Structure 1
Amino acid sequence: MAHSFHISPHQRHLKWSQSLAPALTVPSGAEITFSLLDGGHNQIRPDNAPTALADFDFTLTDPAFGPVYVESAEPGDVLRVDFLDLEPGTYGWTALLPGFGLLADDADIVAATPALKIWDLTESGTLPNASGRKRLAVLKPGVAVPVRPFLGVCGVAPAQPGVELSTIPPYAASGGNMDCRDLSTVGATLYLPVNVAGALFSCGDGHAAQGDGEVCGTAIETPMTARVRLTVEKRAEREARGWRDGRKLDCPHYVTPKKGREEIEDEVEDDKGEYAALGIHEDIREASRMAVRGVMDWLEAEKGLTRVEAYMLCSVAGKLRMSEVVDMPNYAVSCALPLSVFLE
């Protein structure tokens, strides 16, 4: 079905709720184009960069756009979301915001906060990589990351009647601000539980690039034009495919594009590999913090980045991984950075 439906920037909300009036009603299989403000509600732009952080209103963050009522969707069904096209804006931003991010309480990060990087995402501001297939967003001369758009927010109305849930955290039963760079890139498919009639799907929070973990609290945030297809998978259809009792999903599931992540991003091109630090601690969060600090220390000592640049680079290009979770009492979490971000 050719897309003929559109959600505009003013059709947005800051709570997930069954009581939201649909902005649009579509049949199953419809394609919808969304015109999205960024995750900061377009409060940070190149024209107001000097004052944007001082004036930033946290209550406006992570707006979701919609909701879209999908005909025939009923509780117990699954909503399939196919990501067809994602076009970032002409600029993006990464910021250190007070009290936000994995290392928000580190003394050196506190001293450097707030901080802002504006990225030029126009053709004149980005570079082709060695293969010429993907644009690279430049952090500073000699350091750049692949532009790989995705949506941080994708979700449906919650199962609980009479409640309003914040759009800032994710939720197992309905999705939301999941910030997973694999589940909503072009070519990926996301499966969400349907909790209410019509599902009431919304999306938002466009990113031009992000590492696993989004450790500083922001990615390359950007306005986005997104095109998705929404299809209802009925409980009986899923049961016929082998799902026991047509089992409802307990959490979001997704399928990545046929090409693997490294092939898409060229992150390990020319056999440059990765540099990683392994954090080991009885607390998963502390293990994660240890790993990120390790890579930041290396970036400062070996690559000459400032602490802020190192933190931002880990947030937009690093890979925070659960490397080992069974040998108690300690967990092992790695933070890896593709060496291809260094152009020289």
Structure 2
Amino acid sequence: MSRQWTGRVFGLVFLIGLSLATLLPTITGFMYPGEEVLPSGYTKFFKNRLILGLDLQGGIHLEYKVDTREALINKSRNFALRLRNELQASDELPELKGAKLVVKSRKEGDIDEVTQLTAKFDKAEHYAVFSDKVTSFLGKFYPEYEWLAEDKQALSITMGMRRSAIDKFQVESLDQAIETIERRINAFGVAESSVSRRDNDKIVVELPGLNEKEFGKAKEKLAQTGLLHFKIVEHDQSKSSAFFTKVRARLPRKEAWPTELKGLEQHKIFASGNTIRSTSRDILEYMVGNTLDNDQEHLIGYEKTYADPQDSDLSEIRRLSKLQEKQIDREQEFNSTSPV
């Protein structure tokens, strides 16, 4: 046999051997599902394997819709309360300190309408002060909102969320929902899962290879609410204190960290009195989730704020320094330009 043929034969044998070595993790995965039968040294070099889709091995195909409209209604309701408190105690508008006013958000209508809110004053002089400065005030402290209309006879001013801010909120809500679903799937231990977006408000989840028992567990895990609605807890001090006592009792401890919060151990938590703060919304949801009594109407809302992670009580930074604003701008620019 010539050297040329000898080389071809050895090359062919080498390729066949390499192919078999590459396919071995796939073969053992089918024969012994969920078990590691190959040596760790082997899988270090040959760790990839073929994955059968739902059409070949069955499993779960679920579609979820993110209710961004309801989330925007809650955001507007929370902002209405915050704006009222801000106007009554703002150093920016000292003329309004102690002013009597009501700020209401809308519950009905399309997305543009439910993100509107109206501030109604009791006195004409207070209305006039805010009417003159509403545009600059919103632009400085709440740039996602804008002036829409005013009624001098009713002493009311209507504001609304900018369309660009609404679009951004919807995208972030969908991204957050996807992140939450992925974390729940990872905590459940489902392999070869797929979570993808469809249209502007839908999420598709595919979990191949699950049996009937695993199907029920996975579906229950994914069906857990990803959004808690918050309203002011009862004005009765004893009832609200009892509510927060229950919430604080579910404070995650490092020595007994909940499996539901796997991967969030690095986040900060502050709980004192009727105040609960955390750098993770999922931790807040976990603490509040099972403490709502069916016979009481608690409405709980979350609002993103800026805080120094080194601050033990995570106090809100209400006025950012120039250095902090530059740092946030740099992070946003990095997040928007970095490859995925």
Identify the structure with the greater helix proportion: 2
Higher relative contact order (CA 8 A, sep 6+): 1
Hey, which of these two has a bigger chunk of strand by percent? 1
